[in-house]
Homo-oligomer: A and B are copies of this chain.
């Protein structure tokens, strides 16, 4: 079974399903989004979408709770259209008090049978905002947590995430994008900490991608990060650098299937 372990809702949903069919992807772990650069009519539209995202992440677009709720509703709608093809991870605002966090997870994630939480994206020095999310997983069946770990996170931030993973050893933590330019030290952490996994999306070097997946095939999870990545190009790259068919099989689906008990 081939699983894209990380893509966002892209519109129209049918075009995504068609692209999965064409490339032979059985299931996609789907994440919500608060902007849709893929529907922009031209480069100017994409720019506006990107600047909107920047403002959003900088807190200039109002309540993150409302934004997450709206994005989750869109996610749930997409999954309801294709329940056999999509598995959802729900967006949860970080930095809320424990009770509010639990309530949000209950209403937005648990109630809709989503399988995990993420993508968490924050600025450098903000990892402590994740504390209550981690604490909450104890009550939600140790639901996996997916954290963006490329720019602007630095190695200190990634180490702080690793510390949380150690404190909550039954909660799987997926670090996005191989840790970005900190891939070498991130790889060492994923080797050491049993519940820490690496997502392969947004690789900027296929040489690095090859080193990491062949060194730690049981802890790497294939991701496309649509709309930013392309399904077929990502599959081609992964298959091209995997040293054995078993490495490719593990990364392209088996690891995620095991993690989500599919």
Q: Which residues of B contact A184 (CB under 8 A)?
A: 47, 50-51
Q: Which residues of B contact A240 (CB under 8 A)?
A: 230, 232-233
Count of chain copies: 2
Contacts known (A43-B215, A151-B180, A240-B230); A207 close to B37, Cβ less than 8 A: yes
A237 interface residue (CB < 8 Å to B): yes
Interface residues on A, range: 35 or more
Give the interface SS of chain A, mostly helix, strand, loop or mixed: helix
A214 interface residue (CB < 8 Å to B): yes
A180 and B207 alpha carbons, distance in the complex (Å): 17
A26 interface residue (CB < 8 Å to B): no
Residues of A within 8 A of B (CB): 37-38, 43, 46-47, 50-51, 150-152, 177, 180-181, 184, 202-208, 211, 214-215, 225, 227-230, 232-233, 236-237, 240-241
- Selected A-B contacts with CB under 8 Å, 19 pairs: A37-B207, A38-B207, A43-B215, A47-B184, A50-B184, A51-B184, A151-B181, A202-B204, A202-B205, A203-B204, A206-B228, A206-B230, A207-B227, A207-B228, A207-B229, A208-B228, A230-B241, A233-B236, A233-B237
